[in-house]
Every structure is written in C-alpha cells, then in structure tokens.
C-alpha cells in the first residue's frame, strides 16, 4: 500500500510519511455540470438535472460497491453543477475488498467509462436540449 504524507506532522523540517491503513477512510468526488450558464437555464431543467444526476450516480456507485454520502449544489454559480462525494459501501468494507486508490483515484479506463456512460444516459440529453440551435 502507498504512503501517506502528513504536512502538519513535519519534524525538524522533514516530511513524515506513514503507511496507509487498509481500512483507512477514503473519499472520492465527482462533479457533474450542465452545458449552459445558470442564468440561461430554466429552473425546471436545473431541478430535473440535479435529481437525475443524484439517481444516476447512486446507481452507478452502488454497482461499484460505493455509497453516495453527500452532495452539494453550489448556489449562485455561473455554471450549474453538483459536487458528489462517495465512500466504499458497508458491504465492500466488511469484505475488505476495496483499495483506497480505487476510490480516490480510479484507473483512467474506469474514469472514462463513467464519463461516457453518464454522457450517454444523462448528459447527452441536456446537451441536445440546451446547446442545439433553436
């Protein structure tokens, strides 16, 4: 397992590294956004997008043995977006089948699969609805 660096635990100018516990808490994050500025997007589309994102990510993460813990829709931003945080699910933790890197930094193919799946199932519709010339 990799080492963790705690910058607050420097001794004599040296950075202290320690092994990461296999059961250490891990937090992954995802950001999903609409392709238009908030001021140009009807409220009903923003609400629908947020709920569809939550539902989609819950399902996607459950299939990956993860659990959606928290989401935050920052208000008043130029572009409507959601921040979603997730952790390993209880069942995955109890079986000790997860690796911290899989949660905090999945492989490039896994990231690309998630992006493509999300765009195909959710994002593409909003892109067509909001960005197509009228």
Q: Can you tell me the mean pLDDT for 35-54?
A: 88
Per-residue pLDDT band at 7 (split at 50, 70, 90):
very low
Q: What is the pLDDT of residue 65?
A: 83
Q: What is the sign of the dihedral through the CA atoms of 108, 110, 114 and 120?
A: positive
Q: What integer best gives the mean pLDDT of the chain? A: 77
Residue 71 to residues 3, 86, 92, Cα–Cα distance (Å): 29, 9, 21
Q: What is the pLDDT of residue 13?
A: 62
* Measured distance CA(28)–CA(30) in Å, rounded: 7
* Measured distance CA(59)–CA(117) in Å, rounded: 12
Q: What is the pLDDT of residue 52?
A: 93
Q: Taking the model in full, what pTM does it have?
A: 0.69
The pLDDT tens digits of the residues spanning 86-121 come to 888 777 777 766 666 666 677 888 888 888 999 999
Please report, rounded to a whole number, the percentage of residues in the chain having pLDDT higher than 90.
Answer: 12
């Amino acid at each position: 397992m990799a080492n963790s660096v705690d910058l607050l635990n420097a001794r004599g100018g040296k950075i202290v590294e320690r092994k990461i516990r296999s059961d250490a808490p891990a937090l992954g994050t995802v950001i999903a956004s609409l392709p238009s500025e908030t001021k140009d997007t009807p409220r009903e589309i923003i609400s629908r997008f947020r709920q569809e994102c939550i539902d989609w990510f819950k399902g996607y993460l459950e299939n990956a043995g993860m659990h959606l813990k928290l989401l935050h829709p920052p208000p008043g931003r130029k572009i409507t977006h959601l921040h979603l945080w997730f952790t390993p699910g209880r069942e995955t933790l109890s079986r000790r089948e997860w690796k911290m890197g899989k949660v905090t930094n999945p492989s490039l193919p896994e990231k690309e699969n998630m992006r493509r799946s999300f765009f195909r199932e959710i994002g593409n519709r909003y892109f067509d609805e909001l960005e197509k010339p009228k």
